[in-house]
Amino acid sequence: MALTDNTLATANNLGTFSGSINLSDVIGGTDPISYYKFTLSENGDIAGAVDWESESGTPPFLRLVVDFNGNGFVESDDRIRTLSAGADGAFFQSLPLGTYYLEVATGNFLTRDYSIQLSATPKPGNVSPDPGSTFVQAFDMGTLSAQRILREYISRAIDPVDTYKFTLSQKTNIGGLVNGTTENLRLFFASDTNGNGVYDSDETVDSFGARPNATFSITLNPGTLFLAGCSPSWFYIYLCNSLRVKPQSSSRF
């Protein structure tokens, strides 16, 4: 138990995380919160389990936090997922490379031992830099004339859209396979018809709802085109925010 780890800036620093680690400490009483900080140098999956020593009173939470605006404070949107709410359990989360925090918190005046097992499995991408969400920020593949394999990450909470730009020199049929995703995503083929660098509503050529291992096929006219991979929930508004339900999808297509 330590009061020195109660902010992001003073979090217990696990460093660049790979392999496995076991975190054990005490929470509650005069110390209601603790943070752990870790960095993933590659896209990857984290998996683990938490064991709360059983006690009565307010249940503790284990949450995954991203300081999106880098201000050192945890706003509500920074808590991207509750990994455990009061009950022992296993968890799994795909993440892009970056810095993350684990938040252990309780309102309980009783102290409680806990242990967290955490492991990381790298799933490196092969596109750099990470494609942006707009046409202007698209990753440029140049003239598409041979097979390309694109491995990257998208999820609603962290990185909802990856956009790729490519050029066709002749009318071309393009076939594709979506592989390795943990959830469905949607692919949009689009053309910046009015040349303003923005994806306008009438610029979709076609779209595909892509389940894992889904194939698609599309015939495209010559020119400059865009392929946007979007997380499945990009267009949805969740009504259960109080439960902090935020489905994730890791997508490598």
CA distance 155 to 232: 8
Pick 194 or 221: Cβ nearer Ca ion: 194
CB half-sphere exposure, 199, CA atoms < 13 A: 21
| Residues in CB range of 233: below 8 A, 6 or more apart | 156, 247
Pick 67 or 183: Cβ nearer Ca ion: 67
Residue 251 Cβ vs Ca ion, minimum distance, rounded to whole Å? 8
Identify each DSSP E strand in the chain by its residue range: 12-16, 19-28, 33-40, 44-52, 61-65, 79-85, 89-95, 98-105, 111-122, 139-143, 161-168, 172-177, 185-190, 204-210, 215-220, 223-230
Residue 146 Cβ vs Ca ion, minimum distance, rounded to whole Å? 23
Query: Which residues contribute to the site for Ca ion (CB under 5 A)?
Result: 5-6, 31, 34, 67, 69, 71, 73, 75, 78, 130, 152-153, 159, 162, 192, 194, 196, 198, 200
Pick 17 or 101: Cβ nearer Ca ion: 101
Residue 3 Cβ vs Ca ion, minimum distance, rounded to whole Å? 6
Token pair 């389990």 is found at 49
Residue 158 Cβ vs Ca ion, minimum distance, rounded to whole Å? 9
Pick 19 or 244: Cβ nearer Ca ion: 244
Q: Which residue is nearest to Ca ion (CB)?
A: 34
Residue 130 Cβ vs Ca ion, minimum distance, rounded to whole Å? 4
DSSP string, 105-130: E---SSEEEEEEEEEEEE---S-SSP
Pick 103 or 192: Cβ nearer Ca ion: 192
